[in-house]
Each structure stands twice: as C-alpha cells, then as structure tokens.
Structure 1
Amino acid sequence: MELMSLLTCPYCGHAERATMPFDACQFFYECPGCRVVLRPRPGDCCVVCSFGSTPCPPVQQDASGRSCCS
C-alpha cells in the first residue's frame, strides 16, 4: 500500500508530497503555494483522489475501485 501521494494544486501548480491518512479520507487541503482550500471533485471521495498521484488508501484497498466514502 502506498501512503505517499504528490498533491498538485490545479490553481497554481504547486506540488507537494503528502502522507495520506491510512483509514480515512481527507476532505480539505490548503495549498501551501496559493492558500486555496482544495475540496474533492464531484465523484471523488477526497482531495487525494482528485489531485494526488496515488489514490487514497481506502480506495487502494477496495478492489472494485469504488469511492470509499460515498
């Protein structure tokens, strides 16, 4: 299981490696570059699944690929 993801802000392009919560979804993330608070895109369970390089751990564990929190 991958616990690191590269989060990339869609507004300013700032990218930062972040440790993902193992057993929960992260619903908000403040970009260190532009201070915009990112929220999941419609249909995604968390900001990591929307803007990260790797899906969140709950989605990684779910072999069906469904959203973990909806």
Structure 2
Amino acid sequence: MTKYGAVPRHLPTSPFKARAEAPPKHFAVGDRVTHDAYGLGRVIGVEGDIAVLVDFGSRQVRITQPFTAMFTL
C-alpha cells in the first residue's frame, strides 16, 4: 500500500516545488543598511544573530530576526 504525502513529488519545472531557504543575514557594527519601513541607517549594535540596533537618524530601532525587511548597502 502506498502512503501519499510522505514525499512531495513535483516535476522540476513545477511552480509548486519546495523553495530553498535563504541563508541567514549577518550584520556588523558600522554596516549601512536600508529597511523597508525606516529607510537608511547604520548598525550601531549587534546582539549575536538575535537582533541589531540601527540608528536611522531620527531614532534608534532594535530589529530582531528574521531580517526580511532589512538589507545591507
């Protein structure tokens, strides 16, 4: 008897194939970044891979993982 759902089976060209996860983002003090909601800023603190403190000029914001809205310039 065959169990369905155990292994997803899709053709290589299928739009439903599983997506690979993006590698985790790493930031260092001094990195210039852009954030979708806050704009341009500079990293002023790093808490391992958990969070970063970014100075956006008018305010400082602690941003936690996942850093999906923030990119290094």
Same fold (TM over 0.5): no
- Higher normalized strand content (fraction of residues): 2
- Higher normalized helix content (fraction of residues): 1
TM-score (norm 2): 0.31
Question: Larger C-alpha radius of gyration, 1 or 2?
Answer: 2
Which structure has more relative contact order (CA 8 Å, sep 6+)? It is 1
